[in-house]
Amino acid sequence: MFRLLGPTGLHVAGGAVDLGSRKQRFVLAVLLAEGGRTVTVGDLAERAWADEAPSDARNAVYTYVSRLRRVLERATAAEADPALVVRRPGGYAIEVDPGRVDVHRFRWLVAAGLRYPSGDPARAALLREALELWRGTPLVDLPGEWATRMRSAWCQLHLEATVAWANAELTLGGAAPVIGPLTEMAAQHPFDEPLLAALMRALHATGRRGEALDSYTRTRRRLLDELGAEPGGELQSVHLSILRERAGATSAAGGAHPPAPATRPAQVPPAVAAFTGRAGSLDQLDGVQPVGEAVASTVVAIVGTAGVGKTALAVQWAHRASHRFPDGQLHVDLQGYATRRPTRPIVALGELLRSLGVHSAQVPAELSEATALYRSVLAGRRVLVLLDNARSAAQVRPLLPGSADCLVLVTSRDRLGGLVARDGAHHVALDVLTADEAQLLLQRLLGRERIRAEAAAAADLAAACGYLPLAMRVAAANLTCRPHLSITNQVAELRAGNRLAALAHRGDQESTVRRAFDLSYLSVSDKAQHLFRMLGDAPGADFAATVAASLTNTTVEEVAPLLDELAAAHLINEYVPDRYTFHELLRQYAREHAEDVWRGRRPRRGAARVRVRRAYGPARVHAGP
């Protein structure tokens, strides 16, 4: 048996075989992991040496392959089907029965076991046999990026197989044997909820109800402290079942999979307090209906700049249109513009499938398979899917249902042109509030009496915030927390100082206007960021591509795609062809960056301004939209 699930090795009837040096074992491990597929010499060298490959790495690979051939010929010569390293066009491969490589046999046994129903003893037996192949940390003796990547993937498979085996044993009434392995695994994976749910069921089934409840309490506290999230539906279901002592609900006799909720999913977040305006946008959404004869789901992209209220609009409409979706509403925050990395589609699919009642052990690891299962589960169902805070069309596309009866709402700071062109998405572009809407929002946030007492100042406050909902909410919150501060004084503070600094909550930097702009700014390329900084020095209310090229000392052809990138991210606005403008607060944000760039470089800044004046020529600076 060739062993990769632990230290790399080969065991035959005569015992362990000496496979040579670590690099030689590395080459063998790569060939074995590829399962008979051809690996080029360059790939073998790259994986074995990573970025530290010597100049003669390819020659070293040839040497290792030659030695491995001799080792394997001697070690497997007496067998009916010897293992052979063969030369193929483009590289090398190893010809060996996959059943003789532990990782491939592990995969086969897990897949075979999961094909049996949960109450069949064959399921538990095959999964148990698979887990017995595990001998510790995979490829533990091999360093490097490739080995780390393989190790991570295989450990995830091991975790999922352990949970599936434990649930199979629980279904058959064998709770006691699984507690030790699950406890050990839970120490390594303290946030894996399917694993923790299986451990709770096992503890409860063996009469250790108090330990099961303590486990839930510790897990919930850990999730809240470190992730700021409550436990998911499966853990909560197990917890409630234990508390209520409902016979068979999640005990060993009750099945490996907790029952799907009797109610439909209703995951849309609470509506935003004091939601105001957007009548036209709401009417536009009302007019979008799932079309039964269509071949795909209906998609609506709600796009706009940071803080303009995209999520608020989507949530508001989702609540008022909930009756149109009798099979439920799903919600995923895709974290497209957040301090953490955007949610990968496969992770989002796992959340969606579990919300639809699919057990974690049955969620495919491959993106294409998970998407296919997701679309199969939603087939024939009328569901609203809210995909909030998307980074790109590519992140969203695997999450689109195939059912014509489903409707997908996507919110993004990107204009999602690809989703419109390829997937037929309806486009709802949000602008800032009107002056009347802004006044009404402040009235709802601060109270009618306070606004009546300072009506003119309230109008000035909305204007100072650029009619941006986030900015007005921050300003209103500051006034609410400082009841003795007049609206007039707040306006004076905003106009006299740095508005972006003033539009912040002390102790909550994540809720500031500047932080919202930071996340949009960091989402574009380095070249686009540089152009954005330079545009902070653009004179007038708007500018053309010639001005952008002059500021950066480049050509219009070079700067045009960068302007389009900034416009797509809603950092600037192309209000007519080749005329761009900023939102008032974004202009100040860009000017701050421009000051940072030019600090100590006054002559170069002066030269850039001379180029801009020449670009304008005799024409006066444009007044803007």
From the options 1.25.40.10, 3.40.50.12780, 1.10.10.10, 3.40.50.720, give the CATH code of 173-259: 1.25.40.10
Predicted pLDDT at 19: 87
Tokens in use for 383? 């569901």
- Residue 259's pLDDT band (cuts 50, 70, 90): very low
Fold of 524-616: Arc Repressor Mutant, subunit A (1.10.10)
| Residue length of the chain | 625
pLDDT in tens, 400-458: 998 788 999 999 999 999 999 988 899 999 999 999 999 999 999 999 989 999 999 99
Which of these, 174, 176, 168, lies nearest to 119 by C-alpha position? 168
Per residue, the 3-state secondary structure of 471-514, as one string, reads HHHHHHHHHHHCCCCCHHHHHHHHHHCCHHHHCCECCEHHHCHH
Fold of 1-170: Arc Repressor Mutant, subunit A (1.10.10)
Q: How far apart are CA 467 and CA 438, in angstroms?
A: 6
pLDDT in tens, 594-606: 776 655 555 566 6
Residue 333, classed as helix, strand or coil, is: strand
Query: Which amino acid, 173?
Result: G
Residues 6+ apart with CB under 8 A from 25: 8, 19, 141, 142
* Share in percent of the chain as helix, strand, coil (round to 5): 55, 10, 35
Nearest-Å Rg of the Cα atoms of the chain is 30
pLDDT in tens, 172-204: 888 888 999 999 999 889 889 899 999 999 998
Residue 413's φ and ψ, nearest 5 degrees, are: -85, -15
Q: For the ranges 250-254, 416-420, 472-476, which has the lowest average pLDDT?
A: 250-254
Tokens 């912040």 belong to residue? 504
Give the residue-averaged pLDDT of 101-124: 91
- CA dihedral angle for residue 445, residue 449, residue 451, residue 456, rounded to 10 degrees: 180
pLDDT at 289 exceeding the cut of 80: no
pLDDT at 130 exceeding the cut of 90: yes
pLDDT at 358 exceeding the cut of 90: no
Which of these, 159, 155, 161, 234, lies nearest to 201 by C-alpha position? 234
Residues 6+ apart with CB under 8 A from 403: 297, 375, 378, 379, 380, 381, 382, 383
Half-sphere exposure of 228 (CA within 13 A, CB side): 0
Q: For the ranges 148-157, 165-174, 223-232, 431-440, which has the lowest average pLDDT?
A: 223-232
From the options 3.60.20.10, 3.40.50.300, 3.30.930.10, 3.40.50.150, give the CATH code of 279-429: 3.40.50.300
**Mean per-residue pLDDT over the chain, rounded:** 84
Same fold, 1-170 and 279-429: no
* Domain definitions of the chain by residue range: 1-170, 173-259, 279-429, 435-511, 524-616
pLDDT in tens, 43-86: 888 888 876 767 788 888 899 989 998 888 888 776 767 888 89
Tokens 């998970």 belong to residue? 370
pLDDT at 291 exceeding the cut of 60: no
Burial letters 337-371, b for 16+ CB under 10 A, else e: beeeebbebbebbbbbbbbbebbbbebbeeeeebb
Instruction: Please say whether the dihedral angle defined by the alpha carbons of residues 594, 595, 596 and 599, taken in this order, is positive or negative.
Output: positive
